A and B are shown apart, each in its own frame.
Chain A
Amino acid sequence: MLDLLPEPLKAWLGPDVTFWLGYFTNGKHIAFFVSVHYTVLAALLGAACALVFGLMGAALWTSRNPWLRWPGAVYVNMVRGVPDVLFFLFFPLAFEQAMEWMRASAVCTPEAAAERAGQWPPCPDANIFFSTYEYLALACVSLGIVYGAFAANVIAGAMRSVPRGQLEAARAFGLSARQVLWRVHLPQMWIYALPGLSNVWMLIIKATSLLSLLQIADIVQLANRLGAPNFSRSAGLVHGDWRWGYYLVLLVFYIGLTFVSERVFAALTRRASRGMAIEGAAR
């Protein structure tokens, strides 16, 4: 990377600066910078999943049919008592085991299964190894499940906040129940849901720091590896324990993400509240 700098600039920077520039752009550090994409992907896709799960959860929870309402209520309220990290670990594990169980029933011979009784997977052929991106997809779905319950709460509240007069007017115009829902109720719901959804987004961003728990070599894991005391036989101790410095950088990175998100949501709220008769609406 350092070769890309023109010679005069290098001379002007001096040997110390160029050394550190070189050090912080070596292959390992480039991999570290690139691994940010796992975090960003997980946040964006996780948020998309959470929105889908949130809409479905809210629809179930507010349904008139008790057979739909009860599962919805359990789903929405479950996250109140159980930490997110537990779901985050459990869902990928359970999914992997379910896949292996399905494969085992197809590929395992009774003899092979009997040999490994009480072990998992039932036979070696049934073992599934997920790639990093498959784990990332699973992580996004788990984030979606956990934070979907939070989003469902927000969306259900926002649906209740839409003024009754709007819905009554729509009905008086002769719109069917379906049309009222899709053309009046849902579009107006967003502005009431935005502050709550912004909170959920902040939670999702912070939860993306847990990706390393699913064997994804994300920024947290690479920071740990890069900062760990580095000892080589030829050069001796290259550097001591620098992990806290790398984690400090991550801390600042996340604070920056929060800062940017706040600004974006403030702009979104301003935009979405144009012409709406609510507090703080842009006129």
Chain B
Amino acid sequence: MTTAAAPVRAKRVLPGFTLSLGTTLLYLTVIILIPVLALVLKGAEIGPARFWAIVSSPRAVAAFQVTLIAAAIATAFNAIYGLLMAWVLVRYEFFGKRVLDALMDVPFALPTAVAGLSLTALFSANGWIGAWLEPQGISIVYTIWGIALAMAFTSVPFVVRTVQPVLEDLDPGYEQAARTLGASELAIFTRVVFPQILPAWLAGCTIAFARSLGEFGAIVFIAGNLPFKTEIAALLAFIRLEEFDYNGAAAIALVLLFFALVLLLVSNRLQAWAARHRGV
């Protein structure tokens, strides 16, 4: 805060610069950078021709397709559900609101394997919800819908928690002005409120999408893991490892890593845009 405008000399008044920065860089290098570098080096070692052959093999393409489609379904659902939750939690007062708010952290806190186990049992033919859906001809478990369900569960807090603070900080003046001018509630939402939360909402959806692409623990339980049908990319990489096909695993992992880093950049841009929007 104050350091921004302070002269260069003043910034080193506090002790521990070398120690804290040194520790941080050392830890990041050993724990994050070197392992990621090992993956990139492995990818370089494979060579472009073989890399392309691995990544464009029918089974890999099918796995990427399943992953992308399921993540898109999950994100589309969370875009609506997450926005609804953020809106309800910020704008209305009702009994049990604090519990509902706390429940939005459950997917963060609950281990993904536990979520996967429970969702699978719950939506299978003899589970509470599956027993009711299966007779209507709706199968969730061992289909792409199950994968999307697991992804939606694990990534919904990202949308809620990104939109919620922005919605809380909105200046009520614009809405009041619109209301005074006779705008309907729907018009106020679509023309006044929504444009203001749009950057944060998009950022939240991007993070949720990225998280869905990388999700593994919850999905292996519910997907059934049939090659070409319900096999996700992360699982295919895992299977390649178990077959000691390290090149195959590394190539698929690199594609997922590339997606993750691009989405991280996009969400950072969106969040910077959202921050400018809020005038922070």
Do A and B share a complex?
no
Residues of B within 8 A of A (CB): none
Residues of A within 8 A of B (CB): none
